[in-house]
Amino acid sequence: MTKFIIITGGVLSGLGKGIVTSSLGMLLKSHGFKVTAIKMDPYLNCDAGTMNPFEHGEVYVLDDGTEADLDLGNYERFLDTELSGDDNITTGKVYRSVIEKERAGEYLGKTVQIIPHITDEINRRIWNVADEDDFDIVLIEMGGTVGDIESSPFLEASRQLHMEVGDENLIFVHTTLVPVMNVVGEQKTKPTQHSVKALRSIGISPDIIVGRSDVEMEPSTKRKISLFCDVPQEAVISSPNADNIYRVPLILHNEGLTDYVMKKLELKKKNGFDEYMDRWQHFLADFENPTSELTVALVGKYCDLEDAYASHVEALNHCASATKTRINIRFMESEDFEEISAASELLNDVDGVLIPGGFGTRGIKGKMNAINHARTHGIPILTICLGFQISVIEFARNVLGYESANSSEFDPKTEHPVIDLLPMQRGIDKMGGTMRLGAEKVIINEGTKAHGIYGLTEIQERHRHRYEVNLDYIDEFETNGMIFSGKSSNSKRMEILEIKDHPFFMGCQFHPEFKSRPLDPAPLFLDFVKAMIKERDGK
Ligand code: GLN
């Protein structure tokens, strides 16, 4: 029998529910259970693909091409697993399938309603995930905050699921905020009490309360929450701010979360933690005890919101541990690089440059200047997706001499479209889920730098793009020193580029950051970091 753990959030958003969910999953996985995680997103979008990163953070891409909420990235990283689109249930997906069934006549004669039709569809999707791989435990994170109109069908569905499977098979973990009033330093429990009341009013009683706060919860605070919210004191878990997200599982475990969850779900305790936890602790020890440091400039256009580049940050964190180096990431607005003279000043004290993906014309010139500076000054640089495409344009303009070279994304009438629309994209006018998405095979040429990095001639990496390198120019690039060392299996899509005679100039059309794991950093990122270390240390 699969056990379910439903994680809800109260008081306000941004409490780190996703990290609590991922951490609990990690703890149960390292107790030997087969665990997976689902994110419920109460928005009406079918997926996160059409959302601006400014509004919702990074769009995370799964192997199957689903454009998902960034929490799926945390689940994949903490559980070291690969999820699918079925693991991100949105209101849009649920309503779409109910409406399609209604049109197909499947509910003939019935009035189609939120209860039971929408709630049944939500639970059908949950069971579908639970059954597809015989999971011991399915974690379900409820997006939004209890009390939101949007999330009520999801909460109602989980209330019904609880009725169906019983107390020993489903528990609710409620994450709330325990603020500290600075004047008196008192830890306040009222917001928690109110949000538990809101949860109760819809028929859900939390089994566990995780209190997020700046500092550790006092025993008296726990007692009060226990008393007013009707949960045993051992089920009140303190989750103070952690130095880094990878420490959170250990904090929660030391608070007794794992033991309490197992007791409530009547799970047989396996003999302590397994090797996964050992490796995790090593990762953490190296991450928290760096022996040197370096600074990398991330030149992007969504820099006001760090979450817009969440997987880049984590991929660098994974490499930080693997190399015992503190990696400072300097988020830099590409528009600040519009004057080429600015680039040398802005990049004066960084060890490397990372140019991430993106869409649209804003900030392109600045990214191009940053790339030009790194290329001509031997600064290690990794360019990804849009970054990769701009490095091709920069090379065409400044090395091949095609001054007007461009991507047809930015100038549809350009004389030299060195980046052009993918043939399969012609005629597509719908925006949602229509890019070249997900894991695709990349064939790497032997003897290239990319081959040395991956140690393989065939890899799978995740994609999300509409444009690509124009095949008409390949020979010219290659004779002038830009090598395309990775290509799609039919050789028609350029996937990896490298420049000879440069300490590290690599670009990729795919997104290596999505496959980086704490215990298995993305090879391109790791080699980039090693190159920065080598340059910093004067080789
Ligand atoms: N805008 C570019 C394209 O669609 C790059 C996309 C990206 O960086 N994810 O091809």
Q: What is the C-alpha separation between 236 and 211, in angstroms, rounded?
A: 7
Site to substitute for ligand 1 among 382, 384, 389, 434, most atoms within 8 A of C-beta: 389
Which residue from 322, 162, 160 is spatially nearest to 246, judged by alpha carbons? 322
pLDDT at 13: 82
What is the residue type of 227?
Answer: L
What's the CA-to-centroid distance between 509 and ligand 1, angstroms? Answer: 8
Amino acid residing at 512: P
Q: Does 134 share its domain with 274?
A: yes
Closest by CA to 8, choosing from 221, 214, 156, is 156
358 lines ligand 1 (CB under 6 A): yes
**Residue holding tokens 């529910």?**
17
Same domain, 378 and 238: no
Has 502 been annotated as catalytic? no
pLDDT for position 484:
98
* 278 shares its domain with 421: no
- Two tokens, residue 374: 């790194």
Q: How far apart are the first and last CA of the chain?
A: 57
Mutating to test ligand 1, I would choose from 52, 393, 409 the residue with most ligand atoms within 8 A of its C-beta, which is 409
Give the residue from 229, 263, 282 where a domain finishes. Answer: 282
Q: What pLDDT is recorded for position 480?
A: 96
CATH of the domain at 122: 3.40.50.300
Q: Ligand 1 atom 1: the closest Cα is on which residue?
A: 359
Answer whether 357 contacts ligand 1 (Cβ < 6 A): yes
Residue with the nearest Cα to atom 6 of ligand 1? 465
Per-residue confidence (pLDDT) for residue 423, from 0 to 100? 83
Total domains, the chain: 2
Report the separation in Å between the CA atom of 358 and the middle of ligand 1, taken as the mean of its atom positions. Answer: 6
Determine the structural domain holding residue 49 and report its residue range: 3-282
Catalytic residue, from 156, 385, 495, 502: name it: 385
Note if 511 is an active site residue. Answer: yes
Residue type, 292: S
pLDDT at 272: 76
**Burial grade of 517 (CB within 10 A; 0-12, 13-18, 19 or more):** middle
| Ligand 1 atom closest to Cα of residue 357 | 8
CA of 78 to the centre of ligand 1 (A): 27
Separation between Cα atoms, residue 392 and residue 374, nearest integer Å: 14
The closest of 360, 402, 400, 367 to 381, measured between CA atoms, is 367
424: CA distance to ligand 1 center in Å?
A: 15
Catalytic annotation present for 476: no
SS3 145: coil
pLDDT at 232: 97
Does ligand 1 have an atom closer than 6 angstroms to the CB of 513? no
Would you call the peptide bond into 53 cis, given omega within 30 degrees of 0 as the criterion?
A: no
pLDDT of residue 271: 72
pLDDT given for residue 539 in this prediction: 61
Comparing CA positions, the residue from 177, 183, 181, 182 lying closest to residue 209 is 177
Residue type, 208: I
On whether both 294 and 269 belong to a single domain, the answer is no
CB of residue 363 inside a 6 A radius of ligand 1: no
Closest atom, ligand 1, to C-alpha of 384:
8
Of 317, 500, 457, 463, nearest in space to 389 by CA: 463
386 CB under 6 A from ligand 1? yes
- Is residue 267 domain-shared with residue 200, that is, in the same domain? yes
Is there an atom of ligand 1 within 6 Å of 93 CB?
no
CA of 490 to the centre of ligand 1 (A): 21
Same domain, 443 and 465: yes
User: Cβ(464) to ligand 1 under 6 A?
Assistant: yes
331 and 274, same structural domain? no
Neighbours of 502 (CB within 10 A): 19
Nearest CA-CA partner of 254 in 264, 242, 267: 242
Asked if 30 and 131 sit in the same domain, the reply is: yes
Q: Residue 204 C-alpha to ligand 1 middle, in angstroms?
A: 43
What tens-digit pLDDT sequence spans the chain (539 residues)? 899 999 999 988 888 999 999 999 999 999 999 999 999 999 999 989 988 888 888 999 999 999 999 999 999 999 999 999 999 999 999 999 999 999 999 999 999 999 999 999 999 999 999 998 889 999 999 999 998 999 999 999 999 999 999 999 999 999 999 999 877 788 999 999 999 999 999 999 999 999 999 999 999 999 999 999 999 999 999 999 999 999 999 999 999 999 999 999 999 877 778 899 999 999 999 999 999 999 999 999 887 788 899 999 999 999 999 999 999 999 999 999 998 889 999 999 999 999 999 998 888 999 999 999 999 999 999 999 999 999 999 999 999 999 999 999 999 999 999 999 988 888 888 888 889 999 999 999 999 999 999 999 999 999 999 999 999 999 999 999 999 999 999 999 999 999 989 999 999 999 999 999 999 999 999 999 999 999 999 86
Same domain? For 278 and 326 the reply is no
210 in the same domain as 161:
yes
Whichever domain contains 359, its CATH number is 3.40.50.880
Residue nearest to atom 5 of ligand 1 (CA): 386
Among 255, 282, 309, which residue terminates a domain? 282
Q: How far is the CA of 357 from the centre of ligand 1 (A)?
A: 6
Q: Tell me the residue type at 390.
A: I
Q: Is the CB of 466 under 6 A from ligand 1?
A: yes
pLDDT at 427: 84
Same domain, 263 and 301: no
Domain boundary (225, 258, 282) is at 282
Residue 346 and residue 241 share a domain = no
